[in-house]
Amino acid sequence: MSEITKTAAPTASRPILKTLTPWIGFLVLLLVLPNIFSSNAGLYTMNLMGIFVIFALSYNMLLGQGGMLSFGHAVYFGLGGFMSVHFMNYIEEGLFTFPMYLVPVFGGLIGLVFAIIIGSFSTRRAGTVFAMISLGVGELMASSSLIFVAFFGGEEGVSGDRTTGPELMGIDFGKDIHIYYLIAAWVFVTVALMYLFSRTPAGRMANAVRDNAERAEFVGYSQRKVRFVSFCMSGFFAGIAGGLFALNFEIVTEENLNALTSGVVLLMAYIGGVGFFIGPIIGAVVFTLLQSILSNYTDIWQLYVGVLFVLTVMYVPQGLTGIIMMHTTAWRLKRVGGLIVPYIRIGIPALAMMAGIAAFLEAIHHVRTASEDDVMMSLIGIEFDSHALVPWIIIFALAIIGGVVTKLQYPQLKDAWETANKLPASGEGVGS
Amino acid sequence: MTAAIELKGLYKSFGPTAIIRGVDLAIEKGERHAIIGPNGAGKSTLFHLISGRYSVSGGGVFLHGENISNLPPYEIYRKGLSRSFQVTNIFPNMSVFENVRCGLMWAKDYKYSFWHLVDRERELNEKTAQVIEEIGLTSRMKIPAGVLTYAEQRALEIGIAAAGGADVIMLDEPTAGMSHSETDQAIELIRKITVGKTLVMVEHDMGVVFDLADRISVLVYGEIIASDTPENIRNSKAVQEAYLGAEAED
């Protein structure tokens, strides 16, 4: 599914089964997941994950596929959400009869309509101009959401009730597991559609315009129209994600279309890896996990997400998917096994270092925020006095020794990496 | 019969500086036409004016009798004029195969379609493979274009330009920076892809020019000082003084 490793489709079309295997796997995964994580918290997290997967993928149609950096993608997500929640209320009031599970379609349509309007002028240029316009439009929408109370509901937002529509085979979507399967179905369909879009002429030219907008014009394509088509598609799918958000949470507020949400989707796509189709999926999953799990244990989880983002930008611009894809050569040569021990050898001290740094941050946070007499703090079940000297010495020792050992272990990993990736002399080398 | 390309009093200035100063030129259909001239004469600018990269300051560009001055590049391409670039201008992160396919999609009438799946379009992919075969990159078609060698990228550059079957093909220094053997291959390639088509090329390598061209125009300081057969150009006094003189002394 990646753009970098599998770009060409040779003339002989691949066997259908091979093409379908990942999708069947994806479907099975979606069906099996709620049986593994059947708790309410698990379902809650997975529902959010599904919504964010669609949202992040729609964002990557702009950033990764089309080379458009948007700071206002939440506009289409939020508007889709508001539109859907209004439709949920219309259905409840009996204005018309419509199945609740199709409500996200309205979200998608309003996302599409606004993408057509805004895209008609913002896709004129890529790069900084596009980014600035998206930022401006995002701020405009966020501030109007507090002004036009009738549609946006002011600060408390708009709420609805998803159980009031006509039932589907006796299911009224009152239970979390029902909404999970609803979201899963939407995720499967929209992910497939977005993937298929990337394989159409419009989708391929989006990549071409991203790579070299000028040359695209000299093979007959207006770069503006190519961007516009991607932009509209992206708005449509973001709107669907917003509609699912409305169905799932039964409330949509200003926060769903402001800059924070626009930032979150950028973070998800980038951490996952914008160069790969599955990148944003991984990014959305990781981000949601961090958000819902880490936030149970620490107040400063956003700091960790921020650090992860900065480290990604600095050291692995290809994202988490990029790290996985780095192993394809070794995988093909069947040498990944040789990397396990070196990874463990560097992984243990690296974990110790990260634990030390995290403990340091947590301890500082505790000293700064806890009340004067509350000196005891707890980290992963260990109670200690954050004002005493010994815990601090241990924390520093953990971070520094971990760091030094990590550095000492680096050469052996590098050697192992080179051995694992060394192409056979007669093999087909890339750089000849 | 109308000329494939006709320039009438073509004029281009950047601010107060005139680069192209009234060029009149007619290139007949099926002709292989080379434009030569010293550095800074405005050859590439002339190319950019014809292909729509630059706007025209005065005069007109006519393609098969139709005025195409100041049309956007994609409109000019759709009217049947395709070009390559002096500085390699490809889609670096896409595979060789995709690069060529992008050069074919408009010609095959896919436009901005989002209801066709490119991998399922048999004819499109077969034609793409055929073009890649012609430019000799079949064994390299799956790798990203950005990692090709320089000569391969130049071949791809020509392949993208020629893929769509435009009847006027413009090549801007197709052999620049190539070794002798690579140049010979490039000449063969150009000959092959321009059969029955109109070719306009800018070229510094006189061997290539005299080998390929039916007619040659000499551009000096934004003006065409001669436009004739290779034989007459070689013997022209004015041309030798203005341009070839320096090389003849070597």
A–B interface: beta-carbon pairs under 8 A: 134
Q: Does A226 touch chain B (CB under 8 A)?
A: yes
| pLDDT over 90 (residue A165) | no
- The chain A residue lying nearest B147, using CA atoms, is A431
- Return the pLDDT at A299: 85
Complete DSSP assignment for B201-231 = EE-S-HHHHHHH-SEEEEEETTEEEEEE-HH
d(CA A346, CA A359): 20
Complete DSSP assignment for A56-88 = HHHHHHHHHHH----S-THHHHHHHHHHHHHHH
Residue B237, domain extent: 5-248
Partnered with residue B46 across adjacent β-strands are none
CB contact under 8 A, A211 and B93: yes
Complete DSSP assignment for chain B = ---SEEEEEEEEEETTEEEEEEEEEEE-TT-EEEEE--TTSSHHHHHHHHHTSS--SEEEEEETTEE-TT--HHHHHHTTEEE--SS----TTSBHHHHHHHHHHTTTT-TT-SSS-GGG-HHHHHHHHHHHHHTT-GGGTTSBGGGS-HHHHHHHHHHHHHHT--SEEEEESTTTT--HHHHHHHHHHHHHHTTTSEEEEE-S-HHHHHHH-SEEEEEETTEEEEEE-HHHHHH-HHHIIIIIHHHHT-
- Return the pLDDT at A427: 43
Which of A197, A211, A229 comes nearest B92 by C-beta? A211
DSSP label at A275? Answer: T
A300 touches A357 (CB < 8 A): no
Chain A from 384 to 413: CB within 8 A of any B CB: none
| pLDDT over 50 (residue B39) | yes
d(CA A86, CA B248): 82
| pLDDT over 60 (residue B180) | yes
- Return the pLDDT at A139: 94
- Return the pLDDT at A176: 83
Q: pLDDT for A235-277, tens place per residue?
A: 999 999 999 999 999 999 999 999 999 999 999 999 999 999 9
Q: Provide mean pLDDT across the span A422-428.
A: 60
Region class of A169: left (phi > 0), else alpha (psi between -120 and 50), else beta: left
Instruction: Report the share of chain A in percent with pLDDT over 70.
Output: 94
CB contact under 8 A, A200 and B125: no
More confident residue, B62 or A424: B62
Q: Does A97 touch chain B (CB under 8 A)?
A: no
Fold of A16-318: ABC transporter involved in vitamin B12 uptake, BtuC (1.10.3470)
CB contact under 8 A, A211 and B82: no
d(CA B218, CA A235): 53
Partnered with residue B220 across adjacent β-strands are B223
- Return the pLDDT at B243: 66
Q: Provide mean pLDDT across the span A400-417.
A: 90
Give the number of other CB atoms < 10 A from CB of residue A190: 22
Residues of A in contact with B49 (CB under 8 A): none
d(CA A355, CA A298): 13
- Return the pLDDT at A399: 92
- The chain A residue lying nearest B89, using CA atoms, is A215
Q: For the purposes of burial, counting CB atoms within 10 Å of the CB of A23, is it exposed (0-12), middle (13-18) or buried (19 or more)?
A: middle
| Both structure tokens of B125 | 């992919």
DSSP label at A103? Answer: T
Residues of B in contact with A332 (CB under 8 A): none
- The chain B residue lying nearest A207, using CA atoms, is B94
Listed residue (A291, A326, A349) closest to A418, CA to CA: A326
Residues of A in contact with B120 (CB under 8 A): 13
CB contact under 8 A, A208 and B102: yes
| Confidence bin at A429 (pLDDT 50/70/90) | very low
- The chain B residue lying nearest A220, using CA atoms, is B74
Instruction: Report the share of chain B in percent with pLDDT over 90.
Output: 72
| pLDDT over 70 (residue A35) | yes
The CATH number of the domain holding residue B159 is 3.40.50.300
CB contact under 8 A, A229 and B114: yes
d(CA A383, CA B153): 63
| pLDDT over 80 (residue A54) | yes
Residues of B in contact with A200 (CB under 8 A): 113-118
d(CA A69, CA A130): 7
Q: Which residue has the tokens 């799990």?
A: A293
d(CA A52, CA A285): 8
Beta strands in A237-375 (DSSP E): 251-252
Q: Provide mean pLDDT across the span A283-298.
A: 89
**Distance between B153 CA and the closest CA of chain A, angstroms:** 14
Which of A7, A13, A275 comes nearest B95 by C-beta? A7
d(CA B169, CA B65): 17
Give me the number of domains chain B comprises. Answer: 1
DSSP label at A121? Answer: H
Q: Does A277 touch chain B (CB under 8 A)?
A: no
Which residues lie below 8 Å from residue A73, measured CB to CB, with a gap of 6+?
Answer: A55, A58, A59, A62, A134, A138, A234, A238, A262, A265, A266
| Confidence bin at B78 (pLDDT 50/70/90) | very high
Residues of B in contact with A229 (CB under 8 A): 112, 114
State the average pLDDT for chain B.
90
Which residues lie below 8 Å from residue B39, measured CB to CB, with a gap of 6+?
Answer: none
**Distance between A218 CA and the closest CA of chain B, angstroms:** 6
Listed residue (B64, B58, B63) closest to B73, CA to CA: B63
Listed residue (B212, B222, B218, B211) closest to B245, CA to CA: B218
- Return the pLDDT at B40: 85
Give the gyration radius of chain A's Cα atoms: 24
CB contact under 8 A, A225 and B96: no
- Return the pLDDT at B250: 40
| pLDDT over 50 (residue B155) | yes
- The chain B residue lying nearest A226, using CA atoms, is B112
Q: pLDDT for A307-362, tens place per residue?
A: 999 999 999 999 999 999 988 888 888 888 888 888 999 999 999 999 999 989 98
| Both structure tokens of A220 | 């007959």
Residues of A in contact with B92 (CB under 8 A): 211-212
Q: Which residue has the tokens 């859907």?
A: A84
- The chain A residue lying nearest B164, using CA atoms, is A219
| pLDDT over 60 (residue A12) | no
**Is residue A156 classed as helix, strand or coil in its secondary structure?**
helix
DSSP label at A12? Answer: S
| Both structure tokens of A383 | 């109670």
- Return the pLDDT at A43: 92
Which of B77, B94, B96 comes nearest A220 by C-beta? B77
Q: pLDDT for A83-129, tens place per residue?
A: 999 999 999 898 888 888 899 999 999 999 999 999 999 999 888 99
Q: pLDDT for B80-96, tens place per residue?
A: 999 999 888 999 999 99
| Both structure tokens of B216 | 């040659």
Q: For the purposes of burial, counting CB atoms within 10 Å of the CB of A387, is it exposed (0-12), middle (13-18) or buried (19 or more)?
A: middle
B196 touches B30 (CB < 8 A): yes
State the average pLDDT for chain A.
88
- Return the pLDDT at B248: 45
CB contact under 8 A, A200 and B94: no
d(CA B218, CA B43): 9
Give the gyration radius of chain B's Cα atoms: 18
Domain ranges in chain A? 16-318, 328-421
Q: pLDDT for A178-211, tens place per residue?
A: 899 999 999 999 999 999 999 999 999 999 999 9
Which of A9, A199, A229 comes nearest B112 by C-beta? A229
Give the number of other CB atoms < 10 A from CB of residue A150: 7
Q: Provide mean pLDDT across the span A406-417.
A: 89
Residues of A in contact with B82 (CB under 8 A): 218-219
